[in-house]
Amino acid sequence: VSTQSTGENRLDLIAQWVANKHLTLSCEIADLLLCDCQCRVRCDCESGTLALAVYRGVGNHVMSTNCLARQGALYRAVHYAKTHDLGNEKTTRFAQNYTVN
């Protein structure tokens, strides 16, 4: 994945590569996708969704929880954090950082 793929709005290619397992997933790829997100408040873009899929694929549960929260899915984020045993302290701190407006 290159910045050219994200810069030319070819997220469809990245989504296809992820879905068909033609891409070796890594946190670096997810970070690049997340940096491509331009959402100001609630993330509803394809970059954020793809970043979540990649973070989940590599087992980065902290960033997966963060992506869910950015999408406004706070209950899913807290449930995900508890399901993946991120610990009560991390889950509580996380929930305090994301308040519903």
pLDDT number for residue 58: 96
pLDDT number for residue 85: 82
Average pLDDT on 17-41 reads: 91
pLDDT surpassing 60 at residue 20: yes
pLDDT number for residue 98: 64
**pLDDT digits 0-9 by tens, 40-98:** 889 999 999 999 999 999 999 999 999 999 999 988 988 898 888 887 676 666 666 66
The burial class, CB within 10 Å (0-12 / 13-18 / 19+), for 68 is buried
Phi/psi of residue 78, each to 5°?
Answer: -65, -40
pLDDT number for residue 78: 86
DSSP state of 73: -
| Cα–Cα distance, 51 to 62 (Å, whole number) | 13
